[in-house]
């Protein structure tokens, strides 16, 4: 802390404070302090009055906020000016054409000194100077007095508070890593345990704690930390542990001798990156064949900030395509990639509420649970603020509707979002929609061959094309069938085609272990209201796969208005496609599913239909 002269020194790593030498400066009420805090975050940069108003009051400034800011600035200029100074050149806060500017040097603000010392500690660690690294990081952590900007509440300052908390966590990780390098694994266990408790989704802390426990002779507890991490990540974010944590787990299982003692050279440095930059995408999918045009639409645009919605029927490959596109886009988004399952149609799970989803996103960004806003609106505002200056890629998988998604979207900036949904999110503004259709015959055959891999049986292109045609070009159906083929090396494509053709229902053959195409359809069907479910069952007994309004109205015993509403609801849920205005199509396998439901749930429905001569016949 500079005390060699009478210069101004400000502190934000705790309650806001300022002093000249040993003399504390009275900074006034909280709103005046908030104005100073905003200027400190942009030291030596002009800040327009409008930006100050937005940063202090967000979306709800009081009447006369501009005048209030100007009054606060005037008071701050008097408070911060050196005693006896009368000229503007001595002022700390200047008025420029571009706004108000607070002058200062990096060593006049504790947050900047902290970051300089952390940078120095990392450089010392990279060079193997462990003593110097320990001294620098200890000095950096010693500057913290509490929560940054304590007592000042605005989304803008809260976003900076998150950034500073993240930097502090990185310093704490570095300090723990240096303790392990020095062989002090027993003494660091308690500190790491507390940090993991407060930050359960932070994988680097888990790694350090596992290593400290293992070196302390507590292998079982080290493995237990990994299991806790896997459960927490799956439950809260729907992801698996990253490669570094999985690798350490495997090395502990095999008692890798290199883990038993501190390494002879320095460990790899802890790199300053946002918590959300941890790799969270699922593995690169193998079954993205036939989607080159769609990939070009998702990845070819030069615009950084875009929102894409991928929608389509169950099993069409929305998540697969989104993950593949995200893998290709990820290098262009250095602040990280997040994959979040919203569970609209997840088996055995309730859809994730926007409130809970925002909690997971903010926690991934480093916000402790104790500081989490209670309301959805508060969380959403904080999430948008935290992304203001970032280039991040966000994948929102399996969305239920626009109400669930809208609060999760970043504001204007440089982030890109990929959303997948079985529903058409027509109420979501400013998005690019991409509807996925079944694969063409040749692409479907290529996907089947790619998934089955090398086989004992000779190729039969005609049988393969018939087989994927019976799958309706649906990637999930093809994937399930290919999975069975890999475990039946003597099956030929002709045998499979004949099996599907002769089966009473093709759906009964489209499964792998406990994964079935019927279950995928069923989750969409069960989410419909009762009237729409009955209409869907009626369509299963109609003639052919094309549906029109007048015929369906008679078949279902509904008014034209009720029928139109029901058909649009099925269309919005991708259980129908549109062939022309007022005319719809049922996918072959969806039609078979609807017919099966009619037989199981409405055994008298077919008899009722046959009392309408000329309108329907049993589809074969």
- What Å distances lie between residue 297 and 84, 303, 307, CA to CA? 65, 12, 12
Residue 368, pLDDT score: 66
- Overall average pLDDT of the 557-566 stretch: 92
| Contact (Cβ atoms closer than 8 angstroms) between residue 118 and residue 272 | yes
**CA distances (Å), 266 to each of 170, 174, 183, 211, in order?**
17, 12, 12, 15
C-alpha to C-alpha distance for 108 and 27, rounded to whole angstroms: 16
- Show the DSSP H helices in 127-216 as ranges: 130-142, 155-181, 185-198, 203-215
* pLDDT for residue 601: 79
Confidence of residue 299 (pLDDT cuts 50, 70, 90): confident
Q: From residue 139, how far is each of 119, 165, 188, 269 by CA, in Å?
A: 12, 16, 18, 18
Q: Which residues contact 357 (CB under 8 A, 6 or more apart)?
A: 340, 342, 404, 407, 408
Residue 84's pLDDT is 66
- What residue has token string 């508070």? 161
Domain 183-260 grouped into CATH 1.25.40.10: yes
DSSP state of 527: T
Do 363 and 334 contact (CB within 8 A), yes or no?
no
- pLDDT bucket at 174, cuts 50 / 70 / 90: very high
The third-level CATH classification (topology) of the domain covering 278-436 is Rossmann fold (3.40.50)
Which pLDDT band, with edges at 50, 70 and 90, does 303 fall under?
Answer: low
**What is residue 612's predicted lDDT score, i.e. its pLDDT?**
57
* Contact present, 350 and 342 (Cβ < 8 Å): no
| Closest to 319 measured CA to CA, from 418, 450, 466 | 418
Q: Is the pLDDT of residue 359 over 70?
A: yes
528-610 matches 278-436 in CATH topology: no
Instruction: Give dist(CA 438, CA 354) in Å, integer.
Output: 31
3 state SS of 129: coil
pLDDT confidence of 423, banded at 50, 70, 90?
A: very high
Provide, rounded to the nearest whole percent, the portion of the chain with pLDDT above 90.
38
pLDDT digits over 219-233, tens only? 999 999 999 999 988
Residue 210 has pLDDT above 90, yes or no: yes
State the pLDDT at residue 608: 64
Residue 315: pLDDT band with limits 50, 70, 90: very high
Choice among 38-42, 373-377, 534-538 with the minimum mean pLDDT: 373-377
pLDDT category at 302 given cuts 50, 70, 90 is low
- pLDDT value, residue 504: 66
- Residue that is written with structure tokens 């409405």 in the block: 602
Sketch the domain layout of the chain as residue ranges.
1-130+145-172, 183-260, 278-436, 441-514, 528-610
Mean pLDDT of 189-201: 90
| Rounded Cα distance, 21 and 104, in Å | 15
Structure tokens at 58: 């967000």
Per-residue confidence at 607, pLDDT binned at 50, 70, 90?
A: low
Round the average pLDDT of the chain to a whole number and report it.
85
The pLDDT confidence band at residue 286, using thresholds 50, 70 and 90, is low
The CATH topology of domain 528-610 is Arc Repressor Mutant, subunit A (1.10.10)
- The stretch 313-331 carries a mean pLDDT of 92
| Phi and psi at residue 9, to the nearest 5° | -135, 125
Please give the average per-residue pLDDT across 600-615, as a whole number.
64
CA R_g for the chain = 31
Whether pLDDT at 88 is above 50: yes
Question: Token pair 């479910």 is at which residue?
Answer: 533
Q: How far apart are the first and last CA of the chain?
A: 85
**What is the C-alpha to C-alpha distance for residues 480 and 502, in angstroms, rounded to an integer?**
18
For residue 4, pLDDT beyond 50: no
- Which of 122, 163, 117 is CA-nearest to residue 142? 117
For the segment 231-240, the average pLDDT, to the nearest whole number, is 86
Output the pLDDT for position 120: 92
Q: How far is CA 252 from CA 107, 194, 207, 212, 225, in A?
A: 44, 22, 11, 11, 12
The reply to whether CATH 1.10.3720.10 applies to domain 1-130+145-172 is no
The pLDDT confidence band at residue 1, using thresholds 50, 70 and 90, is: very low
Residue 595 pLDDT greater than 50, yes or no: yes
Angle between helices 243-253 and 203-215 (to 10 degrees): 20
The answer to whether 517 and 599 are in contact (CB under 8 A) is no
Q: Are 426 and 456 in contact (CB under 8 A)?
A: no
Interval 5-16: pLDDT, tens: 678 899 999 999
Burial (Cβ within 10 Å: 0-12, 13-18, ≥19) of residue 73: buried
Query: How do residues 260-285 score in pLDDT, each as one tens digit?
Result: 765 433 333 333 233 333 336 777 67
pLDDT, greater one: 267 or 201 = 201
């Amino acid at each position: 802390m500079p005390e060699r002269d009478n210069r101004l020194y400000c502190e934000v790593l705790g309650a806001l404070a300022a002093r000249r030498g040993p003399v504390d400066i009275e900074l006034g009420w909280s709103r005046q302090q908030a104005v100073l805090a905003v200027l400190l975050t942009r030291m030596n940069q002009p800040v327009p009055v409008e930006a100050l108003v937005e940063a202090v009051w967000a979306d709800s400034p009081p009447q006369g906020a501009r005048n209030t800011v100007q009054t606060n600035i005037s008071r701050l200029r008097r408070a911060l000016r050196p005693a006896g100074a009368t000229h503007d050149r001595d002022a700390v806060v200047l008025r420029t054409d571009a706004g108000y500017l607070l002058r200062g040097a990096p060593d006049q603000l504790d947050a900047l000194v902290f970051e300089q010392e952390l940078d120095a500690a990392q450089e010392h660690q990279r060079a193997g100077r462990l003593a110097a690294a320990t001294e620098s990081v200890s000095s950096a952590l010693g500057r913290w007095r509490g929560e940054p900007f304590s007592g000042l509440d605005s989304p803008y300052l809260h976003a900076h508070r998150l950034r500073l908390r993240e930097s502090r966590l990185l310093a704490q990780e570095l300090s723990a890593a240096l303790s392990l390098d020095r062989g002090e694994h027993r003494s660091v266990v308690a500190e790491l345990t507390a940090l993991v408790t407060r930050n359960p989704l932070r994988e680097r802390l888990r790694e350090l704690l596992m290593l400290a426990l293992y070196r302390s002779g507590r292998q079982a507890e080290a493995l237990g930390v990994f299991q806790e991490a896997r459960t927490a990540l799956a439950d809260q974010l729907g992801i698996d542990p990253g490669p570094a944590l999985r690798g350490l787990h495997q090395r502990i299982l095999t008692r890798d001798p290199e883990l038993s003692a501190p390494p002879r050279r320095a460990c790899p440095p802890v790199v300053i990156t946002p918590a959300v930059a941890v790799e969270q995408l699922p593995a690169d999918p193998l079954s993205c064949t036939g989607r080159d045009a769609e990939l070009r639409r998702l990845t070819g645009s030069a615009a950084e900030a875009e929102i894409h919605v991928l929608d389509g029927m169950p099993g069409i490959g929305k998540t697969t395509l989104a993950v593949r596109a995200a893998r290709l886009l990820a290098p262009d988004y250095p602040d990280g990639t997040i994959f979040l399952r919203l569970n609209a149609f997840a088996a055995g799970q309730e859809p994730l509420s926007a409130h809970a989803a925002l909690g997971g996103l903010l926690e991934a960004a480093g916000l402790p649970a104790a500081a989490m806003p209670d309301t959805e609106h508060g969380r959403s505002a904080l999430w948008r603020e935290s992304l203001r200056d970032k280039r991040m890629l966000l994948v929102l998988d399996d969305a239920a509707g626009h109400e669930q998604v809208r609060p999760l979207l970043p504001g204007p900036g440089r982030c890109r979002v990929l959303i997948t949904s079985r529903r058409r999110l027509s109420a979501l503004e400013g998005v690019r929609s991409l509807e996925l259709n079944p694969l063409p015959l040749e692409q479907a055959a290529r996907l089947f061959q790619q998934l089955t891999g090398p086989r004992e049986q000779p190729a039969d292109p005609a049988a393969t094309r018939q087989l994927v045609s019976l799958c309706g070009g649906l990637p999930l159906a093809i994937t399930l069938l290919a999975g069975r083929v890999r475990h039946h090396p003597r099956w030929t494509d002709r045998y499979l085609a004949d099996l599907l053709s002769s089966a009473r229902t093709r759906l009964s053959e489209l499964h792998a272990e406990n994964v079935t195409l019927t279950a995928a359809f069923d989750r969409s069907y069960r989410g419909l209201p009762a009237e729409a479910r009955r209409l869907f069952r009626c369509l299963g007994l109609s003639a052919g796969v094309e549906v029109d309004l007048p015929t369906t109205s008679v078949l279902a015993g509904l008014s034209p208005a009720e029928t139109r509403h029901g058909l649009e609801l099925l269309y919005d849920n991708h259980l129908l496609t549109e062939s022309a205005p007022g005319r719809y199509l049922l996918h072959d396998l969806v039609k078979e599913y609807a017919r099966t439901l009619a037989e199981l749930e409405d055994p008298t429905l077919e008899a009722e239909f046959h009392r309408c001569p000329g309108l329907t016949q049993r589809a074969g």
